[in-house]
Structure 1
Amino acid sequence: MKVLFIGDIVGSVGRDAVKQVLPALKAKYNPDIIIANGENAAAGRGITRTIANDFYDWGIHGITMGNHTWDNKNIFEWMDDEPRIVRPANFHHSAPGKGLAIISANGKKLAIINIQGRTYLPPIDCPFTTADRLIEEARKATPHILVDFHAEVTSEKIAMGWHLDGKASVVVGTHTHVQTNDDTILPGGTAFITDVGMVGSKEGVLGMQKDAVLHRFLTGMPSRFVVDEGKWHFHAVVADLDSKSGRANKLEKIRLTEESWLLMQ
């Protein structure tokens, strides 16, 4: 079983990149199930139902979220009716939506779980015990389990990888938008990477216009972050999972730039 996971999609630049690149990735890797992080898909802040439907039309089967889940307020009107999107499961129990979904496609089943870290992020329930609880629930449906750990610091993400080794098939870090070079299969058979990276402008700062970010760093004053419209880069991973046990056999990084993509066409 092959799973393609696409890093944080940022704004229209990121969406356009996914639309361009995804057909070729499907042809090359033949993934059974495609998951993407969509919490920055709408102008860098949250997601809309229209954008989610575009993702499905392009072949994405499930969407994970993060700390920007609620930034588009109309999500409260439809989140409870959307079975293919997961938001951090350790949000307050009254939050709309869910943190675990079973995605079925091409005769395969994959459980996707979304968890948010606590370091340098708002107070939230324990991500480690929440992950344990949901993995136990997911195993009733399938041994193939992917956890998107949306967290700020590398130490917390790496700790989660070790904590879930042998419990989840894949643990991917999201949120920091920089692809790390530590992709590995842990001893218990879990594929892990600290951060998958992002899909969006490579000419800004984490997908945002650099001038506003520099202003904040240089002056300490607030500034409005706007999605950068420069040339894109595309980060993702492909995991090859054992069809019976759910253990990972291989994890491969994908790293493309708009320039390299155009040369390949």
Structure 2
Amino acid sequence: MRILFLGDIVGRPGRGIVFERLRQVRRDCDCDLVVANGENASGGIGVTAKAARQLLDAGIDVLTGGNHSFRHKDVAAFLETEERMLRPANYPPGAPGRGWQVYRPKDKPPYAVINLLGRVFMQAVDCPFRAADAILAELPADVRVRLVDFHAEATSEKKALAYYLDGRVSAVLGTHTHVQTADAQLLPRGTALLSDCGMTGPADSALGMDPEEVIARYLTGLPARFTVSRAAPRFEGALLDVDAATGKVVTIAAWRHPENGRRQTEESP
């Protein structure tokens, strides 16, 4: 089973490259499944229900979230009704939506996607380690392919969770920092790890934002609203081959495509 996991989709450039190229990428990579973090897809912060629906229609099988999952008010109702869109499972009880889901496609093996949020340098949420234990205790035994999107700031927390879950999930894939790491690996008990999958959005940017605006913020210390860069977008993520019978990852690699693309000419929202 070949799985493509896309790092955080950022703004109109990130959405645009998904709309224009994802279906061809799926064919070129012979992907069985595409999972993407979409929590920065609308204006670079949060995702609207409309944008989430468009991304799912464009060929993403499951859309995950993070610390900006509830930034746009209209997304709460969408989270309640759309099983293909997740938010972190370790939000306290009462948060709209679901943090994990089992999927049983007719033509593919069953799989589960789990969305968790880190706590180091992040907002106050429930423990992601204990949340993962509780979720794994509920998973049906026949669901061997298990993907974890760990949306977290600190590499140490991401690696610690991966080792904690080693042998119990197929992969722990980090999101949130928008910088693709070079540590794709298989851990001792077979779980795959990439500390951060990077960003699907404008490559020539400061984490997706206009660099000049970010520089001005650092130089002055004054609050400022950043806008999404109009630089050429690219996909970044992880490409995995998984033995569906055992849930073990055979290979994992950081993935990027293309190195360059056409420059965005329209204003980013």
Task: State the TM-score, normalizing by the size of structure 1.
Answer: 0.94
Q: After the TM superposition, which parts of structure 1 deviate over 3 Å for at least 4 consecutive aligned residues? A: none
For 1:69 and 1:33, how far apart are their aligned partners in 2?
Answer: 22
For 1:53 and 1:109, how far apart are their aligned partners in 2?
Answer: 23
For 1:78 and 1:180, how far apart are their aligned partners in 2?
Answer: 32
Q: Is the 8 A contact 1:231 1:258 kept in 2?
A: no
Q: Is the 8 A contact 2:194 2:254 kept in 1?
A: no
- Alignment partner of 1:178 is 2:172: no
Question: 2:226 is matched with which residue?
Answer: 225
How many angstroms does 1:160 deviate by? 1.1
Question: 2:109 is matched with which residue?
Answer: 108
Cα gap change, 1:256/1:29 in structure 2, threshold over 3 Å: closer, same or farther? closer
How many angstroms does 1:241 deviate by? 1.0
Cα gap change, 1:259/1:160 in structure 2, threshold over 3 Å: closer, same or farther? same
> Helix, strand or coil for the counterpart of 1:85?
coil
Task: State the TM-score, normalizing by the size of structure 2.
Answer: 0.92
Question: 1:78 is matched with which residue?
Answer: 78
Question: 1:253 is matched with which residue?
Answer: 254
What are the ranges of 5 or more consecutive residues in structure 1 without an aligned counterpart? Answer: none
Question: Aligned partner of 2:82: which letter?
Answer: E
Question: Aligned partner of 1:93: which letter?
Answer: P
How many angstroms does 1:108 deviate by? 2.2
Question: Aligned partner of 2:161: which letter?
Answer: M
Percent of matched pairs sharing the same residue = 40
Q: Is the 8 A contact 1:138 1:145 kept in 2?
A: no
Root-mean-square deviation (CA, aligned residues, Å) is: 1.7
Aligned ranges for residues 180-199 of structure 1 at < 5 Å?
Answer: 180-199=181-200
For 1:102 and 1:215, how far apart are their aligned partners in 2?
Answer: 45
Question: Aligned partner of 1:179: which letter?
Answer: Q
Question: 2:35 is matched with which residue?
Answer: 35
- Alignment partner of 1:150 is 2:165: no
CA offset digits 1:127-157 (Å, max 9, x no partner): 1111121122224451110000000011111
- Alignment partner of 1:93 is 2:86: no
Q: Is the 8 A contact 1:62 1:103 kept in 2?
A: no
> Helix, strand or coil for the counterpart of 1:217?
helix
Question: 1:4 is matched with which residue?
Answer: 4
How many angstroms does 1:257 deviate by? 3.6
How many angstroms does 1:260 deviate by? 6.2
Alignment: residue pair count: 262
What are the ranges of 5 or more consecutive residues in structure 2 without an aligned counterpart? Answer: 264-269
